Amino acid sequence: MLERELRFSEEEYHRRLRAVKASMDRQGMEVLIVVDPANMNYLTGYDGWSFYVHQGLIIALDRDEPFWFGRAQDSNGARLTTWLSEESILGYPDYYVQSRYTHTMRYVANKIAEEGWDRRRIGVEMDGYWFSARMYRELTEHLPSARFADATSLVAWVKSVKSDVEVTMIRQAAKITEKAMDLAVKMIEPGVAEREVAAAVSAAQIAGVDGYGGDSPAIFPIIPSGQRTSTAHLTFHPERSYQTGDVVLLELGSARCHYHAPLSRTVYLGKVPDDLKKVADVVVAGLRKTLEFIAPGVTAEEVEAYWRGCLAGTGVEKPSRVGYSFGLAYVPDWGEHTVSLRPGDKSVLEPGMTIHFMPGIWLDTYGFECSEPFLVTDSGCEKLVNFPERLFTKEG
Amino acid sequence: MLERELRFSEEEYHRRLRAVKASMDRQGMEVLIVVDPANMNYLTGYDGWSFYVHQGLIIALDRDEPFWFGRAQDSNGARLTTWLSEESILGYPDYYVQSRYTHTMRYVANKIAEEGWDRRRIGVEMDGYWFSARMYRELTEHLPSARFADATSLVAWVKSVKSDVEVTMIRQAAKITEKAMDLAVKMIEPGVAEREVAAAVSAAQIAGVDGYGGDSPAIFPIIPSGQRTSTAHLTFHPERSYQTGDVVLLELGSARCHYHAPLSRTVYLGKVPDDLKKVADVVVAGLRKTLEFIAPGVTAEEVEAYWRGCLAGTGVEKPSRVGYSFGLAYVPDWGEHTVSLRPGDKSVLEPGMTIHFMPGIWLDTYGFECSEPFLVTDSGCEKLVNFPERLFTKEG
On chain B, the residues whose CB falls within 8 A of the CB of A204 are 199
End-to-end CA distance of chain B, in Å?
60
Phi, psi of B388 (to 5 degrees): -55, 140
pLDDT digits (tens, 9 = 90+) for A85-100: 999 999 999 999 999 8
pLDDT digits (tens, 9 = 90+) for A270-319: 999 999 999 999 999 999 999 999 999 999 999 999 999 999 999 998 88
pLDDT in the model for residue B231:
87
**In the predicted model, is pLDDT for residue A79 greater than 90?**
yes
Whether the CB of A192 is below 8 Å from some CB of chain B: the reply is: no
Residue from the list A203, A227, A343 with its beta carbon closest to the beta carbon of B203:
A203
Q: Indicate the SS3 state at residue A224.
A: coil
**In the predicted model, is pLDDT for residue A112 greater than 70?**
yes
Other CB atoms within 10 A of residue B140 CB = 17
Residue from the list A2, A228, A320 with its beta carbon closest to the beta carbon of B230:
A2
Q: How far apart are CA B145 and CA B120, in angstroms?
A: 8
B321 contacts A73? CB cut-off 8 A: no
pLDDT in the model for residue A1:
73
- Residue A332: asked if its preceding bond is cis (omega within 30°), the reply is yes
On chain A, the residues whose CB falls within 8 A of the CB of B175 are none
pLDDT digits (tens, 9 = 90+) for B296-311: 999 999 999 999 999 9
**In the predicted model, is pLDDT for residue A396 greater than 70?**
no
Q: Which of B66, B61, B64, B22 is nearest to B43 (CA)?
A: B66
Give the mean pLDDT of B110-135: 98
Instruction: Give the percent of chain A with pLDDT over 90.
Output: 95
**In the predicted model, is pLDDT for residue A206 greater than 70?**
yes
On chain A, the residues whose CB falls within 8 A of the CB of B209 are none
Whether the CB of A346 is below 8 Å from some CB of chain B: the reply is: no
pLDDT digits (tens, 9 = 90+) for B77-101: 999 999 999 999 999 999 999 998 9
Nearest C-alpha in B relative to A138:
B127
Q: How far apart are CA A8 and CA A47, in angstroms?
A: 13
Q: Best residue in A47, A76, A192 to probe B by mutation, most B CBs within 10 Å?
A: A76
Q: Best residue in A3, A7, A40, A132 to probe B by mutation, most B CBs within 10 Å?
A: A132
Phi, psi of B327 (to 5 degrees): 170, -125
Beta bridge partners of B299: B348
B16 DSSP assignment: H
Whether the CB of B213 is below 8 Å from some CB of chain A: the reply is: yes
- Residue B66: asked if its preceding bond is cis (omega within 30°), the reply is no
Q: How far apart are CA B371 and CA B385, in angstroms?
A: 10
Domain ranges of chain A: 10-159, 164-394
Q: Indicate the SS3 state at residue A118.
A: coil
**In the predicted model, is pLDDT for residue A164 greater than 80?**
yes
The residue type of B394 is K
**Element counts in chain B: helices (H) and strands (E):** 10, 16
Give the mean pLDDT of A340-346: 97
Give the mean pLDDT of B44-69: 98
**In the predicted model, is pLDDT for residue B319 greater than 90?**
no
pLDDT in the model for residue A362:
86
Q: How far is B18 from chain A (nearest CA, A)?
A: 25
Phi, psi of A90 (to 5 degrees): -115, 105
pLDDT digits (tens, 9 = 90+) for B215-259: 999 999 999 999 999 888 999 999 999 999 999 999 999 999 999
Nearest C-alpha in B relative to A78:
B231
Residue from the list A100, A132, A222 with its beta carbon closest to the beta carbon of B49:
A222
CATH homologous superfamily for the domain B10-159 = Creatinase/prolidase N-terminal domain (3.40.350.10)
Q: Which of B310, B372, B321 is nearest to A72 (CA)?
A: B321
**In the predicted model, is pLDDT for residue B61 greater than 80?**
yes
Q: Indicate the SS3 state at residue A19.
A: helix
Q: How far is A217 from chain B (nearest CA, A)?
A: 10
**In the predicted model, is pLDDT for residue A265 greater than 80?**
yes
**In the predicted model, is pLDDT for residue A221 greater than 80?**
yes
pLDDT digits (tens, 9 = 90+) for A50-77: 999 999 999 999 999 999 999 999 999 9
ipTM computed for the complex: 0.97
**For residues B146 and B116, is the Cβ–Cβ distance under 8 A?**
no
Q: How far is B153 from chain A (nearest CA, A)?
A: 10
B396 pLDDT band, cuts 50/70/90, is: low
pLDDT digits (tens, 9 = 90+) for B331-349: 999 999 999 999 999 999 9
Q: How far apart are CA A294 and CA A347, in angstroms?
A: 13
Return all residues near B81 (Cβ < 8 A) that are at least 6 apart. A234, B4, B5, B6, B45, B46, B47, B48
Q: Indicate the SS3 state at residue B391.
A: strand
pLDDT in the model for residue A123:
98
Q: How far is B130 from chain A (nearest CA, A)?
A: 6
B216 contacts A202? CB cut-off 8 A: yes
Strands (E), chain B: 31-34, 56-60, 67-71, 89-92, 121-124, 147-150, 247-256, 259-269, 323-326, 335-340, 354-357, 361-362, 367-368, 372-376, 381-383, 391-394
Whether the CB of B135 is below 8 Å from some CB of chain A: the reply is: yes
Whether the CB of B179 is below 8 Å from some CB of chain A: the reply is: no
A126 contacts B132? CB cut-off 8 A: yes
Residue from the list A152, A212, A235 with its beta carbon closest to the beta carbon of B239:
A212
Q: How far apart are CA B316 and CA B114, in angstroms?
A: 60
pLDDT in the model for residue B340:
97
Residue from the list B48, B231, B257 with its beta carbon closest to the beta carbon of A234:
B48
B174 pLDDT band, cuts 50/70/90, is: very high
pLDDT in the model for residue A319:
84
On chain A, the residues whose CB falls within 8 A of the CB of B196 are 207
Other CB atoms within 10 A of residue A275 CB = 13
pLDDT in the model for residue B270:
97
Looking at the domain B164-394, which fold is it? Creatine Amidinohydrolase (3.90.230)
**In the predicted model, is pLDDT for residue B29 greater than 70?**
yes
**For residues B245 and B269, is the Cβ–Cβ distance under 8 A?**
yes
The angle subtended at Cα A66 by Cα A120 and Cα A77, nearest 5°, is 140
Average pLDDT over chain B, rounded to an integer: 96
Q: Which of A73, A9, A10, A8 is nearest to A258 (CA)?
A: A8
pLDDT in the model for residue A323:
97
On chain A, the residues whose CB falls within 8 A of the CB of B331 are 331-332
Instruction: Give the percent of chain B with pLDDT over 70.
Output: 100
Burial (CB count <10 Å: 0-12, 13-18, 19+), residue A315: exposed
Q: How far apart are CA B184 and CA A366, in angstroms?
A: 39
Longest C-alpha distance within chain A, in Å? 71
Instruction: Give the percent of chain B with pLDDT over 90.
Output: 95
Nearest C-alpha in B relative to A47:
B234
Q: How far is A15 from chain B (nearest CA, A)?
A: 25
Strands (E), B198-258: 247-256
